[in-house]
Structure 1
Amino acid sequence: MSLNNQLKDFLKYKKFPKTVIPLPSKFSQKPDEKHI
């Protein structure tokens, strides 16, 4: 179940990258390159 919750959280992050808490370090190693 926790995996499902993590997936849902990940989808939330993808939908609202600026509004939600920073992503786990996995995803934030190159935080701003996508937006430049």
Structure 2
Amino acid sequence: DVLPRANHFFEHEMPELMESVDNYLDMRLDPNSPIK
């Protein structure tokens, strides 16, 4: 994911960053994920 307005510290984009990380972890930790 790309957060176009984010600076180095994600000061104002923390909710979007956390959503992106959550989605990534959900995808990677899913037992049916094609990526191992």
Q: Same fold (TM over 0.5)?
A: no
Normalised TM-score (structure 1): 0.44
Q: Tell me which of the two structures has the higher relative contact order, counting C-alpha pairs closer than 8 angstroms and 6 or more residues apart.
A: 2
More helix by share: 2
